[in-house]
């Protein structure tokens, strides 16, 4: 890693009394500083034509500045265009150029833009009918806030309909589009359903995996189930990562036009059921619409990545029973490696996640793995309304969510010196002794 210019300036020099050298040194430093900022003002193309990826500061010997939250120059940007509309029904054009121009005018945000993520989630505007629904949603939001804080992501929680006709599962698309316009500094918008819980707080989104081939949309899914089995469950649209670019703006327009804002909304439901025989309800939904678009145009897989190699989101029924075994495996791992037991500040958690990876090389990923599942998705539980799928009891949904929340919360509380000894008991925590879990009958 290149040495910082700060350390160079602090080093004594035999020429400190020479005014000419002082002048030249200051000029060179000023030039390097401007060069650092300028290199960030012009984001580079990833190869897909839609990504803004500035250089890494360490490559040119600069220290990455924090984004300046109090600097918005008077120069005109896309925000000053009276024709700009945030509505899902209004097209946005030239977004790549507009975003690039905004980043040029905000160089401290351009730094690191390719890794910047905004998580978007939300719920309905009214109180839950299910007596414990609001409590579960609050804890589910806390779970997401904890994760974003640990990894340096922003989070936006929405609880209003941004379009009166785009309700239920369609409500996410107007929010995602508005978030793209509100956050030109972010390369990715990450939608996560309210009933999807992050259960590996250490795992960080593998953005390089998606940047490498220029993918713009990532969903959990399986190609075979789309093109051969024609299944409505071939992917899950409750969690997705979408790049903040013109391609995504255009794709959201196409996707949304199979929803309630379309005059052909009822027709789309009929078409979806004619293709996907296992679809259970007649109206067009966002998940069936996305699968249908992929089914009709396989070239979309050039831009849409079907993530099936880890639990980008996973079905809770198969995951929740594995928590006890996973906890035992991770505890044994920490007993063997004192580095993993070391107390540390929450802000440096990612380093300890890297220390853990060699121990997980044989753990596998996804189903049957003993690695912590990244996201446990309580599909069908409907914690707010309580109208859960009748194939399982509501009590199993609620107890499963409590287990998942406490499983994740233990990973957070460890940094604060406590943990839940029983995943079904949210009220009780115990203090973790020094060097836990090396000694004692844990």
Q: Torsions phi, psi of 196, nearest 5?
A: -105, 120
Tell me if 74 sits within 8 A of 98, measured CB to CB: no
Tokens 């989104």: give the residue.
205
pLDDT the model gives residue 27: 45
Q: pLDDT tens digit string along 209-268? A: 999 889 999 999 999 999 999 999 999 999 999 999 999 999 999 999 999 999 999 999
Look at residue 412 and tell me whether its pLDDT is greater than 70. Answer: yes
Q: pLDDT tens digit string along 257-305? A: 999 999 999 999 999 999 999 999 999 999 999 999 999 999 999 999 9
Q: How far apart are CA 70 and CA 371, in angstroms?
A: 42
Question: Residue 422: which of 346, 323, 322 has the closest Cα?
Answer: 323
Question: Residue 123: which of 162, 157, 173, 174 has the closest Cα?
Answer: 157
Look at residue 109 and tell me whether its pLDDT is greater than 50. Answer: yes
Whole-prediction pTM: 0.85
Look at residue 8 and tell me whether its pLDDT is greater than 50. Answer: no
For strands 188-192 and 117-122, give the pairing: parallel
CATH 3.90.550.10 maps onto the chain at 92-307
Look at residue 39 and tell me whether its pLDDT is greater than 80. Answer: no
pLDDT tier at 28, thresholds 50, 70, 90? very low
pLDDT the model gives residue 38: 41
Within 10 A of 203 (CB to CB), how many other CB atoms are there?
A: 20
Q: pLDDT tens digit string along 122-145? A: 999 999 999 999 999 999 999 999
pLDDT tier at 57, thresholds 50, 70, 90? very low
Mean pLDDT of the chain: 87
The dihedral built from the CA positions of residue 116, 244, 158 and 141, taken in this order, carries a sign that is negative
Output the CATH code of domain 92-307: 3.90.550.10
* Alpha-carbon radius of gyration of the chain: 24
For strands 235-243 and 188-192, give the pairing: antiparallel
Q: At what angle do helices 133-151 and 349-356 cross, to 10 degrees?
A: 90
CB-based burial label for 64 (10 Å; 0-12, 13-18, 19+): middle
DSSP characters for 109-171?
HHTTGGG-EEEEEE--SSPPSSTTHHHHHHHHHHHHHHHHHHHT-EEEEE-S-SSTT--GGGG
Q: pLDDT tens digit string along 154-199? A: 999 999 999 999 999 999 999 999 999 999 999 999 999 999 999 9
DSSP state of 321: G
Tell me if 238 sits within 8 A of 252, measured CB to CB: no
């Amino acid at each position: 890693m290149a040495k910082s210019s700060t350390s160079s300036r602090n080093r004594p020099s035999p020429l400190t009394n020479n005014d000419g050298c002082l002048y030249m040194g200051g000029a060179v430093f000023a030039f390097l500083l401007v060069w650092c900022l300028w290199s960030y003002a012009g984001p580079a193309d990833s190869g897909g034509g839609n990504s803004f990826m500035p250089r890494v500061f360490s490559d040119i010997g600069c220290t990455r500045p924090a984004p300046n939250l109090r600097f918005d120059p008077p120069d005109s940007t896309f925000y000053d265009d009276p024709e700009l509309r945030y509505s899902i029904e209004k097209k946005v054009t030239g977004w790549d150029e507009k975003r690039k121009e905004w980043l040029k005018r905000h160089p401290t945000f351009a730094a690191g833009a390719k890794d910047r993520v905004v998580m978007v989630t939300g719920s309905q505007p009214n109180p839950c009918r299910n007596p414990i629904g609001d409590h579960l949603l609050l804890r589910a939001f806390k779970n997401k806030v904890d994760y974003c804080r640990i990894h340096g992501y922003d989070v936006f929680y929405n609880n209003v309909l941004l379009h009166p006709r785009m309700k239920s599962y369609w409500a996410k698309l107007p929010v995602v589009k508005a978030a793209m316009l509100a956050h030109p500094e972010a390369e990715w918008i990450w939608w996560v359903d309210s009933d999807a819980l992050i259960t590996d707080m250490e795992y960080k989104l593998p953005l390089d995996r998606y940047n490498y081939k220029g993918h713009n949309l990532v969903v959990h899914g399986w190609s075979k189930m789309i093109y051969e089995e024609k299944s409505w469950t071939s992917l899950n649209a409750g969690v997705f990562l979408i790049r903040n670019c013109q391609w995504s703006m255009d794709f959201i327009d196409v996707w949304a036009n199979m929803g309630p804002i379309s005059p052909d909304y009822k027709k789309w439901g009929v078409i979806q059921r004619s293709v996907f025989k296992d679809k259970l309800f007649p109206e067009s939904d966002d998940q069936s619409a996305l699968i249908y678009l992929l089914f009709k145009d396989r070239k979309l897989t050039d831009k849409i990545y079907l993530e099936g190699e880890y639990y980008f989101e996973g079905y809770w029924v198969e995951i929740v029973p594995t928590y006890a075994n996973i906890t035992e495996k991770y505890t044994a791992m920490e007993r063997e490696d004192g580095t993993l037991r070391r107390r540390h500040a929450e802000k440096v958690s990612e380093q300890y996640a890297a220390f853990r990876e060699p121990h997980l090389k044989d753990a596998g990923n996804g189903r049957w793995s003993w690695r912590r599942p990244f996201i446990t998705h309580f599909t069908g539980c409907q914690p707010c309304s309580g109208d859960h799928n009748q194939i399982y009891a509501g009590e199993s949904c609620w107890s499963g969510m409590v287990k998942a929340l406490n499983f994740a919360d233990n990973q957070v509380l460890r940094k604060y010196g406590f943990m839940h000894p029983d995943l079904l008991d949210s009220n009780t925590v115990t203090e973790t002794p020094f060097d836990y879990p090396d000694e004692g009958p844990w």
